[in-house]
């Protein structure tokens, strides 16, 4: 009987871990993908840092929409790599860009890529899902490891909408806010971060900060270089 209880406890723990690893985005991937088809103004800040034949990694790539705006004349097919935790969003990416490379993984963990591997690492609106400073530093450390010398890290993270301040503050959520998405109000969790915090985190991760600023009062955009 005791062995049975231990087995059941371990089984339930395993199931809990499995569901904890499932992406919030898998729950509404189709609706989310529809909202991520066009470009964003901050994409224009990427292009001056691209060079013909560069090897690019897109962390939190989702449905791969950034690939549409990276000309294959500059970034040839097969030189674009994407990683995301949502298998459903990756399915869209693999269908639309079959000659590029897509991986499922948690970018808060060790990345499945070799050291000095990429010319540029891009992360669009994903950094805010790293819910602790330890995870943020782990992410940046891994970005530094996989970038080649002189490589560029380009990341954006939300300035969280102020209208959600009080509901989170009163619930004791000062740094990690819950914000609903879409008509059905799917809940997503975001970590509040500022431009000054971004600079400190990047410097602590051995990057040379090129810029880290609020862009059009909407997103923070950080550009940094591996020394």
What's the rounded mean pLDDT across residues 45-52? 96
Q: What is the band of 123 on the pLDDT scale with cuts at 50, 70, 90?
A: very high
Residue 83's H or E segment, with its range, is: strand 80-84
Q: What is the pLDDT of residues 134-153, one digit of tens each?
A: 999 999 999 999 999 999 99
Picking from 153, 150, 152, the residue whose alpha carbon sits closest to that of residue 136 is 153
Residues contacting residue 19 through CB under 8 Å, at least 6 positions apart: none
Task: Round to whole Å and give the CA distance between 145 and 143.
Answer: 5
- Give the residue extent of every domain in the chain: 24-226
Q: What is the band of 180 on the pLDDT scale with cuts at 50, 70, 90?
A: confident
Q: What is the band of 6 on the pLDDT scale with cuts at 50, 70, 90?
A: very low
SS3 94: helix
**% the chain with pLDDT above 70:** 81
> Which tokens is 50 given?
């691209």
pLDDT of residue 18: 33
Q: What is the pLDDT of residues 80-115, one digit of tens each?
A: 999 998 888 899 999 999 999 999 999 989 999 999
What 3 state SS string does 131-166 have? Answer: CCHHHHHHHHHHHHHHEEEEEEEEEEEECCCHHHHH
pLDDT of residue 116: 98
Residue 156 clears pLDDT 90, i.e. is over it: yes
Residue 227 clears pLDDT 60, i.e. is over it: yes
For every residue of 158-194, DSSP letters joined together read E---GGGHHHHHHTT-SSEEEEEETTTTEEEEEE---
Q: What is the chain's mean pLDDT, rounded?
A: 85
What's the rounded mean pLDDT across residues 39-57? 92
Class at the top of the CATH hierarchy for domain 24-226 = alpha beta
> Which tokens is 161 given?
């909408």
């Amino acid at each position: 009987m005791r062995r049975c209880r231990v087995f059941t406890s371990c089984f339930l723990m395993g199931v809990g871990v499995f569901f904890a690893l499932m992406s919030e985005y898998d729950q509404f991937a189709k609706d989310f993908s529809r909202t991520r088809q066009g470009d964003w103004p901050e994409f224009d800040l990427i292009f001056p840092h691209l060079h013909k034949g560069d090897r690019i990694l897109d962390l939190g790539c989702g449905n791969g929409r950034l690939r549409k705006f990276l000309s294959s004349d500059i970034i040839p097919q097969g030189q674009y790599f994407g990683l995301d935790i949502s298998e459903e969003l990756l399915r869209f990416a693999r269908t639309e860009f079959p000659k590029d490379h897509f991986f499922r993984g948690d970018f808060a963990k060790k990345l499945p890529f070799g050291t000095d591997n990429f010319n540029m690492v891009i992360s669009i609106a994903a950094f805010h899902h790293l819910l602790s400073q330890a995870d943020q530093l782990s992410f940046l450390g891994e970005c530094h490891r996989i970038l080649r010398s002189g490589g560029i890290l380009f990341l954006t993270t939300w300035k969280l909408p102020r209208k959600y301040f009080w509901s989170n503050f009163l619930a004791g959520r000062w740094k990690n806010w819950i914000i609903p998405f879409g008509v059905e109000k799917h809940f997503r969790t975001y970590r509040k971060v500022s431009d000054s915090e971004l600079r400190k985190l990047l410097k602590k991760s051995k990057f040379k900060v090129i810029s880290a600023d609020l862009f059009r009062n909407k997103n923070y955009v950080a550009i940094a270089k591996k020394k």
